[in-house]
Amino acid sequence: MTARSHRLPEGGRIDRSRTLSFLFDGQSYLGHPGDTLASALLANGVRVVGRSFKLHRPRGVFAYGVNEPNALVTLGTGVDGEANVRATMIELRQGLVAHSQNRWPSLAFDVMGVNDWFKSAFAAGFYYKTFMGPAKKSWMTYEPWIRRAAGLGRSGTGSDSRRYGRRNITTDVLVVGGGPAGLAAACAAGRMGVRVLLVEQQPELGGSLLEDREGSAAASFVDMMEQELAGLDTVRVLKRTTVFGAYDHGVFGLVERPSPEAAPAAGERFIVVRSRAAVVATGALERHVPFGDNDRPGIMLASAARTYLNRYGVLCGRRVVVFTTNDHAYPAALDLAAAGATVSIIDPRPGPGPAMKAAVERAGVGLLSGHVVAEARGRAGVQSVLVAGYDAARGGTQPVWFELPADLVCVSGGYDPQVHLTSQLGGKAVWSDAAASFCSARQVGDAWASGAVTGVMSTTEVIADGLAQGRAAAIAAGGRGDPGGLRVSADLAASESPAAMMPLWDVPPPPSFRRRRKRFIDLQNDVSQSDVALAAREGYVSVEHMKRYTTLGMGTDQGKVANVVGLANLAAVTERAIADVGTTTYRPPYTPISVGALAGLETGQHSTPLRRTSLDLLHEAAGAVFVDAGHWRRPWYYPLKGETIDEAYRREALAVRTTVGMVDVSTLGKIDVQGPDTATFLDRIYVNAMSTLKVGRVRYGVMLRDDGLVLDDGTVARLGDAHFLVTTTTAEAGKVMSHLEGLLATVWPDLKVHVASVTDQWAAIAVAGPRALALLQDAAGARAAWLSDLPHMGLADGVIDGLPVRAHRVSFSGERAYELFVPSGYAAALWRRLAGSGGRHGLTLYGTEAMATLRIEKGHVAGNEIDGRMTLGDLGLAGLAKPGRHFIGSALMRREALMAPERPALVGLVPIDRGQRVRQGAILQPAGGPHEGHGLGHVSSTTFSPILGHYIALGFVAGGSARMGGQVDACSPVHGETVRCEVVSPKFYDPTGARLHA
C-alpha cells in the first residue's frame, strides 16, 4: 500500500488475506479479491481515470455499478484490447491490465483537452451547422479527423480467443434483481412450490442493502435471506448475471460474466430464459444534480461513496461534502463521518426527517439546509465547492456564497427506478410526483414489478412488496399455498421516516458568479444544461429529438445517471410537466452486451452449419477442391497434380463426352410423394402433366410459383401407381418441400397425399458418358440385365455388387447417363465399387464446374437461368405447358407483360472471334452500340467447351430466337471487355440428342 492509500485498515467485504497486483496505464497497484477495478483504483488514490467523449475533460469514478459514465477502461492490450469496460463492473484479478481511454498522449496530459477551451463552439449539434464547405464533398476531408477524435476506446482487431457459452433455462418464475424486493419475491415464490430463478448482476446478493455497513440490519437481512433461499430446493440463483432484455411470451436474454477465478479463456455465457412469470425487482439507481463543473474527479454519487466505504473499505476523501435533496444520502454522510472524515451536508430542503436530523447531530456532521452546491473547483480533482443559499420557492440560487474545501463531493438528486424491462415488455413508465421519477407499471402481462422499481423506497415496504409480487407471479405460474412472512429486524424499519425529497434538476449559478461553468447532465457525452436549453431553443423539444440532437443518454451507460435529469431540464426550459415530456423508449440491452456473448459457440466454421454428402470423405481423399452450394459443400473439381481449375474441368468434361465420368449428385432435393391422389396433386404443381407418366418412367418437370414465374425444375419418377419420387435442384430443395407441404395442408387438405423429404436418406451418383453402361455392367457383374435393358427416361431397381440401387436413366450432360440412388449408408461402398471398375473404362470423377460445362453445351437451364424472374417462355420451355391445363401459376403466367414477345429469352452465344472469352454477367448490347443502359439482356452462364474448342454461353436476349443468327455485343465494363457474339441455338452440342443412346 502506498502512502496515499485510501483503504481503511479494516472493514468491507473484500478478502484482505490475499493481495492482487494489477496495472493501470502501466503503473502497478495492489488490491484484494472482492475489489472492483474502480474500488482498487480509488483505494490507491487514483482520481482521474478517464477523459470525456467530446471535451476530453478529466474524469473520476462516479458510480459503483452498471451506471458508471466515466470510469471506462480498455482491458488487455493491442489486438486483444477490450474497450469501454466499466471499471465498476470489473472484478479484480491478479495481473489484470487496464488502460485509460480517449486521451493522447497520456491521461494526465491530453492534447484533445483543448476541446474544453472551445466548449461553447462545441455546443449541442454544432457539427450539423458546419464542416460543409467549401466544396460539395468537403465532409470527406473533415470526416477522417472527426472519426479519429471520436470514439472512446480502441478495440483490438485480433480474433477473440475466449470461449463463450450458451445455456437455456426454463423456469416458472424469473426474479430479476437480488436486492430486498427480489430476495423476498424469490423466497415467496419458492415457498409456493414453483421453480424460481433469481438473477443478480452483482457478484453478491443484496442489491442496495450492500451499501450498508457490515453487521448492520441490512447486512443481516441479506445473510438471513441467503440461508433461507439455500434451504429452498425450488430456487436457483445466478449471480454476475444481467437480464439485458425482456421479449415476447416470457423469453428473457441474460449474460453471465465469468468469476475472477475462472480461467482467463472463459468468456461470458449467454442464457435464454423461458419463464411462465417474472418478478422485475430491478430497483432504482441514484441520480445526480447538475451544478457548475459538477464533473470534476472526486465528485460521485452518494451511494457510490458509501458503497466504496462499506463494501470495499475505501474512504474516497477526508473532507467530504454531501450534497443531497433527499434523506437517502444521509446514511452515506453518517458512515463517512464514522470512518473519520469531516463531513458537511448541503441540503436545499429545510432539513431531513427528525430521526435523521438527530443522527446527524449525534455524529457531529455539519448540516447546512436551504443551501446548494453551486460549483466545484479543482480541475484534476475537486478541491473545494462553492455553496450558496437556495430559494426553494423561486427555484433560484442566492447571490451570497462561500467556499468550502472538499476532496470528495457526494451528490444525490434522488432515485430513478430501473424501468427498462417492464418498459421493454410494453408497460409504460409513469411519472410519480411522490417519487419524483418515472416508475414501472405494476404488472405487464405475466411480469410483476416489485420494490424500488415501482417507486417504493422504504426497505420494509420493499420487502413486503417483494413477498406480495413473488406470490402473484407464483400463482400465475401454478404455485399454491401461502408464502408466509419474513422476519424483518426492527433496526431495518427504524432507519426510515424520511422527509420528502426535493426534486432539483439544475443548480443555476448565483447571480454573483462571474463565469458560467458547464453544468453537466450526461457526463460521458458532455451534455450540459445549456445544451438541452439550446436544443429546446432550436425546436428539438420532443424528448427523442433532444436525445438525438444533444446525444444525451446515448453513451455506453445509456443515460442511467442522466436521462431523467435531462428530461426534467427539457421540461423546465419548455415549460412543460415532466410527465408530459415523457421518456425515450427503452430497448434492449439494459447494459451493453458483447457480440461474442450473443454469438456463443457458433463462431468461425461453426457460424453456419456445413452439410456434407455421405461421399464427402471420398471426395476429400480424391483431392477434390470444394465449393459452397448453399449450406452444402460439393466437389468443384478434382485437380491432378499441378492442374489449374481450367485444366481440370476441361479434362473432366471431355472425359464424360469421350469415356465416362462420375459425379456426386446427392445434394439434389428428393421428395417421396405417396397416396391415392398423388398423380392429381403432381398434375397441379407441375406445368406438365404427371398423371400420364407410366410406372417405371421418369419425366422432366417444371414448377411455377403462384405468380406464374418458374420456381424450380427437376425430375418426377413414378415408382408405383400412387408413389412418386420428385427431385428438385439443390438450391430450392427446402423451399419446394415447404411449398408442397403448405399446399397440401392449407389449399388441398382433401387430397390424400403425403410428402416426405428423403434428401438425406438417399445418396445419388450420376454416371455419364459413352462407356457408362459398360462401367455399370462391369460393376454389377452377372446381374446387369436390369441396367442394360433400362430405356432412356426409365427407372429400375436392382443390385450392384450386393448393394440395393435404383437407377434412373436420365441425363443432364447429354450423354448416356444413369442416376444411381442408393441408401446413404451404402453410398461410399457403391462409389468405391464403381471407381474400382472404372479404371479400364477411363472413368473420371467430375465436379460441379465440369457439370456446368456439360449442361451449358446442351443448353439445359440451371440456377443461373432460373433466377426467380423467368417465365417458361423465357427459358424456352413454353412447350411443356399444354393449353387448357390448370396448374399453380397457370393464371398469372398469362399476365400481359409476361407474354410480351420482346422479353429477353434464352439463346446460345458464341464469340465471333472463337479465341475470345465471354464473361458471365456481361450485358448484351446491340452490336456496334450504343452500349448503354440495360441493353438487350445478359449472359447467364459461360464455359469453355472442350469438345467444341471455344467459349460458349447461355444468355437472355430481347426477342430470343427471333435474333438467331444475328450478332450482339457482350459488354463487361468491369473487365473492360466487349465481345461480339453470334446468337445461336442454346443446344450447342448434339442438338438431336443422339448421344443419349450412344
Considering beta carbons, is residue 180 or 555 the nearer one to other proteins?
555
- Report cis status (omega within 30 of 0) of the bond before 134: yes
H/E stretch holding 806 reads strand 803-808
Tell me: does residue 919 bind other proteins (CB under 8 A).
yes
Q: Contact between 167 and other proteins (CB under 8 A)? A: no
Task: Work out whether 617 is an interface residue with other proteins (CB under 8 A).
Answer: no
Taking each helix axis as running N to C, give the angle between helix 330-338 and helix 354-363, from 0 to 180 degrees, rounded to the nearest 10.
20
Least distance CB 749 / other proteins (angstroms): 3
Q: Pick between residue 26 and residue 749 the one whose CB is nearest to other proteins.
A: 749
Tell me which residue of 907, 872, 912, 880 sits closest to 988, measured CA to CA: 907
Q: Kindly report the length of the chain.
A: 998
Give the shortest CB-628-to-other proteins separation in angstroms: 5
705 binds other proteins (CB under 8 A): yes
Site string for other proteins, 840-879 (x = CB under 8 A): ------------------------x--xxx----------
Is position 997 an interface residue for other proteins (rule: CB under 8 A)? no
H/E segment holding residue 224: helix 217-230
Q: How far apart (Å, rounded) are the C-alpha atoms in residues 249 and 241? A: 21
Short-list 234, 243, 254, CA closest to 189:
234
Is residue 274 close enough to count as binding other proteins by CB under 8 A? yes
**Using the rule CB under 8 A, is 594 a contact of other proteins?**
yes
Shortest CB 414 distance to other proteins, Å: 25
Of 226-234, 386-394, 413-421, 889-897, the window that binds other proteins (rule: CB under 8 A) is 889-897
Residue 250 found at the interface with other proteins (CB under 8 A) = yes
> Does 473 interact with other proteins (rule: CB under 8 A)?
no
Which residues, 6 or more positions from 336, have their beta carbon under 8 angstroms from its beta carbon? Answer: 305, 306, 309, 315, 320, 322, 343, 408, 410
Strand partners, 703: 686, 712
Distance between CA atoms of residues 87 and 557, nearest Å: 12
For residue 867 the three cell numbers come to 433466377
Least distance to other proteins from the beta carbon of 151, Å?
Answer: 3
Asked if 402 interacts with other proteins (CB under 8 A), we say no
Q: Considering only residues 598, 625, 719, 722, which one is a binding residue for other proteins as defined by CB under 8 A?
A: 598
Burial label for 900, CB within 10 Å (0-12, 13-18, 19+), is exposed
d(CA 618, CA 525): 59
Residue 117 binds other proteins, judged by CB under 8 A:
no
Q: Which is nearer to other proteins, 435 or 862 (CB)?
A: 862
Give yes or no for residue 934 binding other proteins (CB under 8 A). Answer: yes
Number of C-beta neighbours around residue 149 at 10 A: 14
User: Residues 713 to 742: which contact other proteins by CB under 8 A?
Assistant: 738, 741-742
| Residue where the block lists cell 459413352 | 770
Instruction: Please say whether the beta carbons of 346 and 353 come within 8 A.
Output: no
CB-CB contact of 844 with 659 (8 Å): yes
Instruction: Look up residue 771 and give its three cell numbers.
Output: 462407356
Q: Based on the shown chain and the rule CB under 8 A, indicate whether residue 925 belongs to the binding site for other proteins.
A: yes
Window 286 to 315, contacts with other proteins (CB under 8 A): none
Among 128, 338, 340, 914, the residue binding other proteins under the rule CB under 8 A is: 128
Check binding of 589 to other proteins (CB under 8 A): yes
Q: Of 155, 432, 460, 824, which lies in the binding site for other proteins, with binding defined by CB under 8 A?
A: 155
By rule CB under 8 A, what count of residues binds other proteins?
138
Comparing CB distances to other proteins, the nearer of 299 and 875 is: 875
Burial class (CB in 10 A: 0-12, 13-18, 19+), 44: buried
163 part of the interface to other proteins, by CB under 8 A = no
Give the x/- contact pattern for other proteins in 186-225, rule: CB under 8 A.
----------------------------------------
User: Alpha-carbon dihedral of residues 641, 644, 645, 649, nearest 10 degrees?
Assistant: -70
Q: Which of 133, 642, 883, 915 binds other proteins (CB under 8 A)?
A: 133
Residue with cell 496495472: 23
Write down the least CB distance from residue 39 to other proteins, Å: 22
Cβ contact 448:472 at 8 Å: yes
Q: Closest distance between other proteins and the C-beta of residue 812, in Å? A: 17
Q: Which of 45, 112, 131, 672 binds other proteins (CB under 8 A)?
A: 131
Q: In terms of Cα–Cα distance, which of 828, 976, 985 is closest to 906?
A: 985
Residue 357 CB, nearest distance to other proteins (Å)? 41
Q: Minimal distance in Å, beta carbon 587 to other proteins?
A: 5
Q: Please tell me whether residue 944 binds other proteins under the rule CB under 8 A.
A: no
Give the count of beta carbons closer than 10 Å to the beta carbon of residue 915. Answer: 7
Distances, alpha carbon 766 to alpha carbons 79, 358, 566, 785, 813, in Å: 49, 94, 71, 19, 10
* Segment near other proteins (CB under 8 A); pick from 212-220, 402-410, 885-893, 985-993: 885-893
* Residue ranges in 500-519 that form contacts with other proteins under rule CB under 8 A: 516
- Is 28 a binder of other proteins (CB under 8 A)? no
From the CB of 243, what's the least distance to other proteins, in Å?
12
* Binding span for other proteins by CB under 8 A among 191-199, 323-331, 562-570, 597-605: 597-605
Q: Which of 223, 391, 403, 544 binds other proteins (CB under 8 A)?
A: 544
- The answer to whether residue 467 forms part of the interface with other proteins (CB under 8 A) is no
Q: Name the minimum Å distance from CB 509 to other proteins.
A: 13
Find out whether 911 and 917 touch, Cβ atoms under 8 Å: yes
Torsion sign over Cα 793, 794, 799, 801: negative
Cell of 796: 429400375
Which residue's CB is nearer to other proteins, number 370 or number 863? 863
Retrieve residue 868's grid coordinates.
426467380
Q: Decide: is 887 part of the binding site for other proteins (CB under 8 A).
A: yes
Out of 30, 363, 380, 599, name the contact with other proteins by CB under 8 A: 599
Contact 987, 858 (CB under 8 A): yes
Q: List the interface residues with other proteins, window 625-664 (CB under 8 A).
A: 627-628
Identify whether the C-beta of residue 179 lies closer than 8 Å to the C-beta of residue 281.
Answer: yes
Please report whether residue 684 would count as binding other proteins according to CB under 8 A: yes
Near other proteins by CB under 8 A, which window of 268-276, 486-494, 794-802, 943-951?
268-276
- Which of positions 403-442 make contact with other proteins (CB under 8 A)? 424, 426
Nearest approach, Cβ of residue 609 and other proteins (Å): 9
The verdict on whether omega for the bond into residue 352 sits within 30 degrees of 0, i.e. cis, is no
Residue pair 486/187 in contact (Cβ under 8 Å)? The answer is yes
Distances (CA, A) of 747 to 404, 738, 750: 82, 13, 9
C-alpha to C-alpha distance for 627 and 647, rounded to whole angstroms: 17
